Amino acid sequence: MTDSSWHLPDPQTQPEFYADVPLKRLLAWGVDTVVILIATLLILPFTAFTGLFFLPLLFLTVSFAYRVVTIARSSATWGMRLLAIEFRTATGARFDTAHALMHSAGYTFCWMVPLLQLASIILMATSERAQGLSDLALSTVVINQRAAS
């Protein structure tokens, strides 16, 4: 993608859109993990507790569904909404269901391959637009919802 086709705030001229985004993503991830854990525990009785035998897979499935649904509805998970950040496509649009599905699939795959997740975390902490591997692959970013005027 060329710079001329990028329709998002420039981190050099509008840094307020990317201010503290890596930290906010980390905190949002913590909130989302707690929500997913609670949802997983609430589902367990409905499996007659057989879900304990495949708890990591159940957690992964709940996580994937949670991410797709929340991101498709508001371009952010509940944790991201709490911290006032959201996903945007390269055109500046909010995520639709297809983007939510692809981003969640990339995120889940990175967690299944720990070296990819480590690389993604390093990229979020060091790249100009705070993008992880899934963001880079889809040409998406996470920005602050309300930038300082």
Q: Is the pTM here over 0.85, yes or no?
A: yes
* 4 pLDDT more than 80: no
pLDDT for the residue numbered 62: 97
* 91 pLDDT more than 80: yes
Asked if 143 and 21 touch (Cβ cutoff 8 Å), the reply is yes
Contacts of 59 (CB under 8 A, 6+ apart): 36, 37, 40
pLDDT for the residue numbered 37: 98
Q: If you average pLDDT over residues 73-81, what whole number do you get?
A: 97
Give the Cα separation of 21 and 16 in Å (integer).
10
pLDDT for the residue numbered 126: 95
pLDDT for the residue numbered 6: 60
Confidence at 7, pLDDT banded by 50, 70, 90: confident
* 84 pLDDT more than 70: yes
